[in-house]
Amino acid sequence: MSKDHDESRRAFLVGATVGAAGAVAGAAAVTEAEAKTQASAPATHASVGGGHGAYLNDDDLATVVAYTERLMPGAPGKPGAKEAGVANYIDLALAGAYADQGDMYRRGLAALDVFCNEKYKDSFVYLKPAQQDEVITAMEEGKATGFSWPSAQSFFNTLRTHTMEGMFSDPVYGGNKDFAGWKLVGFPGAQPTFTAADMASNKPFTRVPTIGLQARAKAATPAKRG
C-alpha cells in the first residue's frame, strides 16, 4: 500500500484521538489510589512479537498485531501500533477490564481468518499489506462475508477503538510503550508543574520527562524501613 495511504490512516487516528481529549489521557479513568494498585502489576504479560498472551492464543495475538499495525502503520520516526505495544494492551484488557468482550474477539478473529482464506487463500497475517488493507476496508464497509456476531463493521470499529486506546492510553495499561503515542501527539502526561510559557504555548509539549501513572505511583510509595 502507498506511503500516502499509510500517512493518511495514521493522521486520521491521531487526529481522532486528539479531537477526543479523554482518549489521550486514557481509555479507563482511574483515581490515584487505583493507579498505585495497577502500577504494582507488570504491564507486559504478552510478547508483542509472538508467544503466548494473557488471553489470546499465539495465532490470534499475531493477527491482532498485524491488524492493528495496518490501522496505525509505523514509519521512520513515527511509531506504529506494533512498536507501541497496542496488541499487548488489547490482550491484557481482554484478560481483565474487557473480559466481557473475549468471546466477541475469538469469534471475530475466527470469521476474519475464514474470510481471508476464502478470498486470498491465506490467513490475514500472511497477506501483503495491500491485501490486508482491502480486508480492513471490506470490514469497515460491511462487505466482508462470513461474519454473524460480531458483524464485520462492529468488529472493525472495536479493533479501531482499542487500537486508539492502546496507542494513546497511559502505559500502565500495557500499551503506549515508552510513551510512543504521547510523544507522537506531544502529550506531556502527568507533569508535576507547567511553566507560564508551557501554558501559553499552542505547540506540542516536548520537554522530557513524559510521566505516566506508574511512575507517579512509585514516587508516591513510601520507602521501606530496613
Q: Tell me the pLDDT tens digit for each residue of 60-86.
A: 999 999 999 999 998 888 889 999 999
Task: Provide the residue range defining the domain that includes 82.
Answer: 3-220
Any domain includes 118: yes
Any domain includes 145: yes
Q: Structurally, how many domains does the chain consist of?
A: 1
Query: pLDDT digits over 113-156, tens only?
Result: 999 999 999 999 999 999 999 999 999 999 999 999 999 999 99
Average pLDDT rounded to a whole number, residues 34-50: 40
pTM, 2 dp: 0.73
Mean pLDDT computed over every residue of the chain: 78
The dihedral of CA 61, 213, 195, 202: what is its sign? Answer: positive
Cell of 55: 488471553
Any domain includes 152: yes
Could you give the residue ranges of the DSSP H alpha helices within the chain? 3-19, 21-25, 32-39, 58-71, 81-84, 86-94, 102-120, 129-140, 152-168, 180-185, 196-200, 213-220
Give yes or no for a contact between 64 and 47, defined as CB atoms under 8 angstroms apart: no
CA 30 vs CA 35, 131, 185, 210: distances in Å: 6, 39, 22, 18
Any domain includes 226: no
Any domain includes 96: yes
- Higher-pLDDT residue of 81 and 31 is 81
Any domain includes 225: no
